[in-house]
């Protein structure tokens, strides 16, 4: 059905994000098995096509979306680190902090403070997404 849609990476992104966009679906993404079924592909074919379109596996992509959403929440000062971690699907604040540091190069609070010091809040929030 959609297996030759590599020329349209947005298809894969829309398939992962759903109709509502990242803020509403980051926590509740379906498994890659379910997404593969929606694309009428085997899980391995879906994984291969998804990675070719995004350069990330579905799990890596989901993790990156979650961390970017947490960063946005923190930059907008909508919650503290533990709450942001929980809101985007992490049960362990320490695991969240490790993965956040790996992606952004600094622990959550230090990263947010650095971004806010080097520009306006609006500029820093745009960096998160």
pLDDT in tens, 44-79: 888 888 888 889 888 888 899 899 999 999 999 889
Which range has the worst mean pLDDT, 21-25, 77-81, 88-92, 119-123? Answer: 21-25
Q: Name the packing angle between helices 108-117 and 121-128 (round to 10°).
A: 130
User: Of 29, 20, 27, nearest to 69 (Cα)?
Assistant: 27
pLDDT of residue 53: 86
Residue matched to tokens 């992104």? 13
Question: What three-state secondary structure class fits 120?
Answer: coil
pLDDT of the residue at 29: 46
- What pLDDT, on the 0 to 100 scale, is given for residue 58? 84
Q: Which region among 1-5, 75-79, 119-123 has the lowest average model confidence (pLDDT)?
A: 1-5
List of residues 6+ apart from 49 with CB closer than 8 A: 3, 5, 6, 12, 39, 41
Q: List the single range of 31-45, 76-90, 92-106 with lowest mean pLDDT.
A: 31-45
CA 16/CA 50 separation, integer angstroms: 9
Q: What angle, rounded to 10 degrees, do the helices at 58-75 and 9-17 form? A: 70
The closest alpha carbon to 112, from 65, 66, 80, 64, belongs to 80
């Amino acid at each position: 059905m959609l297996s030759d849609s590599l020329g349209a990476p947005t298809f894969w992104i829309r398939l992962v994000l759903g109709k509502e966009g990242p803020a509403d679906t980051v926590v509740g993404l379906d498994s890659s098995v379910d997404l593969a079924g929606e694309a009428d592909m085997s899980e391995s074919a879906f994984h291969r096509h998804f990675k070719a379109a995004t350069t990330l596996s579905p799990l890596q992509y989901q993790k990156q979306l979650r961390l970017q959403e947490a960063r946005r929440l923190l930059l907008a000062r909508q919650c503290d680190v533990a709450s942001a971690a929980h809101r985007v699907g992490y049960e362990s604040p320490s695991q969240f902090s490790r993965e956040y540091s790996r992606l952004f190069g600094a622990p959550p609070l230090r990263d947010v403070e650095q971004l806010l010091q080097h520009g306006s809040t609006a500029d820093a929030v745009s960096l998160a997404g």
